[in-house]
């Protein structure tokens, strides 16, 4: 890729990623609360102060305001700034990992950036509300139509297998928990998310994503139980761990799997 075009791509994706990250904060707050994404204008949830344009500059406004509302001085969650930073970093990483001179590389980089934003929404909404909305899983599944033909690591049928296997495995866990434990072991939103992620990633990278989600999730939830002494049957969201696993597999799945296969087969 021409060096000038490469630099422009990095800068543009980083800037647009920051701006999109600001919008993601609106999505994360309003979708679970069944609010319109466009109206009313962005405002303080404590005093209803309508934010001016200079209060909405990604990252900078948060830092200049000291993480507080300009009007009522109520503390603003650092999540707002973190979402903007994470989204910008993931959009930049999309260029670093996938952008090249081919149409497939450009399409895959753009798809990876969009998927990163969707998974950030899934992560934070499920973390706070234990809900995974169909609109997000649909976007992830539809993106599989793009990755199916632009992912150099997998064949198109690997994505179909991934969707079927991801959905089937989680469906078995879902109904198995109900039959054995007499309660849900995970939400049905997790089942749909796994199926959509499998269709988007392909079965190989989905396997890595679910493995990471399960291992990290088990460790984190065990520590939470020990530290907070939560009751035995307390429910925790699994969507954030699936989202993080899918993001890792999306960006690093191919080299990690190739490395692992190289260790096995020399």
Q: For residue range 146-201, what is the model confidence (pLDDT) as tens digits?
A: 999 898 888 999 999 999 999 999 999 999 988 887 787 788 999 999 999 999 99
In a domain, residue 119? The reply is no
> Is the pLDDT at 60 greater than 80, yes or no?
yes
* First-last CA distance in the chain: 32
Question: Across 17-31, 40-54, 166-180, which has the greatest mean pLDDT?
Answer: 17-31
In a domain, residue 266? The reply is yes
Lowest-confidence segment of 124-128, 228-232, 259-263 by average pLDDT = 228-232
pLDDT of residue 4: 74
Measuring CA to CA, how many Å separate 91 from each of 53, 218, 235, 244?
A: 23, 29, 32, 15
CB atoms within 10 A of CB 128: 14
The residues, ordered by sequence, that sit 6+ positions from 92 with a Cβ below 8 Å of its Cβ are: 10, 13, 14, 17
- Rounded percentage of the chain residues whose pLDDT exceeds 90: 69
Q: Write the DSSP assignment of 127-178 as a string of letters.
A: HHH----HHHHHHHHHHHHHHHHH-TTS-HHHHHHHHHHHHHHHHHHHHHHH
In a domain, residue 62? The reply is no
215 against 153, higher pLDDT:
215
Measuring CA to CA, how many Å separate 193 from each of 52, 69, 199, 248?
A: 36, 35, 10, 15
In a domain, residue 197? The reply is yes
Rounded Cα distance, 102 and 115, in Å: 20
Q: What share of the chain is helix, strand, coil (3-state, %, to 5)?
A: 75, 0, 25
pLDDT of residue 184: 79
C-beta of residue 128 within 8 angstroms of C-beta of residue 147: no
In a domain, residue 115? The reply is no
In a domain, residue 30? The reply is no
- Rounded percentage of the chain residues whose pLDDT exceeds 70: 99
C-beta of residue 163 within 8 angstroms of C-beta of residue 141: yes
CB atoms within 10 A of CB 103: 9
Q: What is the pTM of this model?
A: 0.93
pLDDT of residue 112: 96
Instruction: Residue 224: give the domain boundaries.
Output: 150-266
pLDDT of residue 181: 78
C-beta of residue 210 within 8 angstroms of C-beta of residue 243: no
C-beta of residue 218 within 8 angstroms of C-beta of residue 194: no
pLDDT band at residue 266, thresholds of 50, 70 and 90?
low
Mean pLDDT of the chain: 91
In a domain, residue 112? The reply is no
Number of domains the chain contains: 1
Rounded Cα distance, 141 and 37, in Å: 22
> Is the pLDDT at 24 greater than 60, yes or no?
yes
Rounded Cα distance, 20 and 56, in Å: 12
222 against 138, higher pLDDT:
138
In a domain, residue 47? The reply is no
């Amino acid at each position: 890729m021409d060096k000038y075009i490469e630099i422009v791509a990095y800068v543009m994706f980083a800037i647009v990623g920051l701006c999109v990250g600001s919008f993601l904060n609106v999505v994360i707050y309003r979708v679970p609360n069944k609010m319109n994404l466009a109206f009313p204008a962005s405002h303080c949830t404590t005093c209803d102060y309508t934010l001016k344009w200079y209060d909405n500059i990604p990252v900078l406004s948060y830092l200049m305001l000291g993480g507080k509302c300009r009007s009522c001085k109520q503390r603003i969650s650092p999540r707002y700034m973190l979402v903007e930073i994470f989204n910008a970093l993931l959009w930049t990483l999309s260029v670093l990992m996938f952008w090249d001179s081919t149409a497939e590389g450009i399409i895959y980089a753009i798809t990876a950036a969009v998927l990163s934003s969707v998974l950030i929404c899934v992560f934070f909404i499920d973390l706070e509300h234990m809900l995974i909305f169909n609109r997000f899983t649909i976007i992830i599944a539809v993106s599989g139509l793009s990755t199916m033909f632009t992912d150099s690591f997998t064949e198109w049928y690997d994505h179909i297998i991934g969707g079927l296997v991801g959905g089937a495995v989680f469906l078995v866990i879902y109904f198995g928990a109900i039959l054995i434990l007499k309660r849900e072991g995970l939400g049905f939103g997790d089942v749909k998310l796994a199926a959509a992620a499998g269709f988007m990633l392909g079965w190989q990278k989905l396997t890595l994503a679910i493995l990471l989600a399960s291992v990290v999730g088990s460790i984190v939830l065990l520590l939470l139980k020990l530290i907070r002494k939560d009751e035995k049957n307390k429910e925790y969201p699994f969507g954030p761990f699936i989202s993080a696993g899918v993001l890792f597999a999306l960006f690093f799945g191919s080299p990690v799997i190739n490395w692992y296969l190289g260790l096995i087969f020399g």
